[in-house]
Amino acid sequence: MKTIIYSMDEIEQAGAVIRAGGLVAFPTETVYGLGANALDADAARRIFAAKGRPQDNPLIAHIADLAMLDELCHDIPDTARRIAERFWPGPLTMALPKRAVVPDTVTAGLQTVGIRFPSHPVAQALIRAAGVPIAAPSANRSGKPSPTTFAHVFADMNGRIDGIIDGGNAEVGVESTFIEFVNGKVRILRPGYITPEDLAEVVGAENVEIDGAVLRGLSENEHPRSPGMKYRHYAPSAPVIAVLGANGDCAREIRRGVRGHTGAAAIVCDEYVDLIPCETLRVGRYGDYAAQAHRLFDALRELDRPDVEIIYAQCPDDRGVGLAVANRLKRAAGFHVVNARHLTVLGLTGSTGAGKGVVSHALADAGAKIIDCDAVYHEMLAHDAAMLADLQAEFPAAFEEGRLDRKALGRIVFRDSAKLERLNAVVHPHIRRHIAALLDELETQGTALAVLDAPTLFESGADQTCDFTLGVTADPDVRVARIMARDGLDADYAALRIRAGKPDGYYSAKCDFMIENNGAPEDAECAARAVLKKVILQ
In the complex, the residues that contact ligand TXA under the rule CB under 6 A are 28, 30-31, 33, 57-60, 93, 95, 107, 110, 112-114, 116, 136-138, 175-176, 178, 189, 226-228
Write the binding mask 85 to 124 for Mg ion: x where contact by CB under 5 A, - elsewhere: ----------------------------------------
Residue 66 binding result from Mg ion, ligand TXA, none, given CB thresholds of 5 to 8 Å by partner type: none
Q: Which is nearer to ligand TXA, 172 or 258 (CB)?
A: 172
Helix, strand, coil percent content, the chain, rounded in steps of 5: 45, 20, 35
Residue 303 binding result from Mg ion, ligand TXA, none, given CB thresholds of 5 to 8 Å by partner type: none
Give me the sign of the Cα torsion angle 129, 134, 137, 142: negative
Q: Considering the complex, what minimum distance in angstroms separates the CB of residue 191 from ligand TXA?
A: 12
CA–CA distances in Å: residue 399 to residues 73, 314, 376, 382? 84, 50, 21, 12
Residue 428's nearest CA partner among 397, 459, 467, 465 is: 459
Contacts made by residues 513-516, CB under 8 angstroms, sequence distance 24+: 513/468, 513/469, 513/470, 513/471, 514/470, 514/471, 514/472, 514/473, 515/350, 515/359, 515/470, 515/471, 515/472, 515/473, 516/473, 516/474
Residue 245 binding result from Mg ion, ligand TXA, none, given CB thresholds of 5 to 8 Å by partner type: none
DSSP state of 502: P
**Cα(286)–Cα(269) distance, integer angstroms:** 5
Cβ pair 134, 127 in contact under 8 A: yes
Residue 469 sits in the site that holds Mg ion (CB under 5 A): no
Residue 60 binding result from ligand TXA, Mg ion, none, given CB thresholds of 5 to 8 Å by partner type: ligand TXA
Q: Which is nearer to ligand TXA, 34 or 363 (CB)?
A: 34
Residue 363 binding result from Mg ion, ligand TXA, none, given CB thresholds of 5 to 8 Å by partner type: none
> Which span (135-143, 344-352, 391-399, 473-481) binds Mg ion, by CB under 5 A?
135-143
Return the residue nearest Mg ion (CB atom).
Answer: 138
Q: Which is nearer to Mg ion, 138 or 226 (CB)?
A: 138
Q: Considering the complex, what minimum distance in angstroms separates the CB of residue 100 from ligand TXA?
A: 15
**Cα(318)–Cα(308) distance, integer angstroms:** 28
Using CB under 5 A, which of 138, 247, 314, 351 touches Mg ion?
A: 138
Q: Considering the complex, what minimum distance in angstroms separates the CB of residue 33 from ligand TXA?
A: 3
**Cα(193)–Cα(289) distance, integer angstroms:** 9
**Helices and strands, counts by H and E, the chain:** 21, 23
Q: Which is nearer to ligand TXA, 120 or 252 (CB)?
A: 120
Q: Which is nearer to ligand TXA, 222 or 490 (CB)?
A: 222
Residue 33 binding result from Mg ion, ligand TXA, none, given CB thresholds of 5 to 8 Å by partner type: ligand TXA
Count of residues in contact with Mg ion, rule CB under 5 A: 1
DSSP state of 9: T
CA–CA distances in Å: residue 184 to residues 76, 83, 206? 12, 13, 11
Residue 332's nearest CA partner among 506, 145, 71 is: 145
Q: Considering the complex, what minimum distance in angstroms separates the CB of residue 205 from ligand TXA?
A: 23
User: H-helix or E-strand containing 486?
Assistant: helix 476-487
Q: Considering the complex, what minimum distance in angstroms separates the CB of residue 12 from ligand TXA?
A: 21
**Cα(99)–Cα(76) distance, integer angstroms:** 11
Binders in 16-45 for Mg ion, by CB under 5 A: none
Q: Which is nearer to ligand TXA, 215 or 495 (CB)?
A: 215
| Half-sphere exposure for 355 (CA within 13 Å, toward CB) | 27
Q: Which is nearer to ligand TXA, 335 or 414 (CB)?
A: 335
Q: Which is nearer to ligand TXA, 175 or 525 (CB)?
A: 175
Return the residue nearest ligand TXA (CB atom).
Answer: 228
**In this structure, are strands 4-6 and 163-165 parallel, antiparallel, or unpaired?**
parallel
**Cα(498)–Cα(328) distance, integer angstroms:** 55
Please spell the DSSP secondary structure of 176-221, one letter per residue: PEEEEEETTEEEEEE--SS-HHHHHHHH-GGGEEE-HHHHSPPPTT
The torsion angles phi and psi of 279, rounded to 5 degrees, stand at -60, 120
Q: Considering the complex, what minimum distance in angstroms separates the CB of residue 350 from ligand TXA?
A: 56
Q: Considering the complex, what minimum distance in angstroms separates the CB of residue 118 from ligand TXA?
A: 6
Q: Which is nearer to ligand TXA, 116 or 252 (CB)?
A: 116
- End-to-end distance of the chain based on CA atoms, in angstroms? 53
Give me the sign of the Cα torsion angle 160, 161, 162, 163: negative
Cβ pair 458, 502 in contact under 8 A: no
Residue 112 binding result from ligand TXA, Mg ion, none, given CB thresholds of 5 to 8 Å by partner type: ligand TXA
Residue 247 sits in the site that holds Mg ion (CB under 5 A): no
Q: Considering the complex, what minimum distance in angstroms separates the CB of residue 137 from Mg ion?
A: 5
Q: Considering the complex, what minimum distance in angstroms separates the CB of residue 146 from Mg ion?
A: 5
Q: Considering the complex, what minimum distance in angstroms separates the CB of residue 337 from ligand TXA?
A: 21
Q: Which is nearer to Mg ion, 233 or 369 (CB)?
A: 233
Q: Which is nearer to ligand TXA, 114 or 322 (CB)?
A: 114
SS3 132: coil
Please list, in sequence order, all residues whose beta carbon lies within 8 angstroms of the beta carbon of residue 279, skipping any fewer than 6 positions away: 264, 265, 266, 303, 308
Residue 149 sits in the site that holds Mg ion (CB under 5 A): no
Q: Which is nearer to ligand TXA, 217 or 277 (CB)?
A: 217
CA–CA distances in Å: residue 45 to residues 61, 160, 292? 14, 13, 33
Q: Considering the complex, what minimum distance in angstroms separates the CB of residue 138 from ligand TXA?
A: 4
Binders in 475-514 for Mg ion, by CB under 5 A: none
Q: Considering the complex, what minimum distance in angstroms separates the CB of residue 92 from ligand TXA?
A: 9
Residues of the shown chain interacting with Mg ion in the complex, contacts defined by CB under 5 A: 138
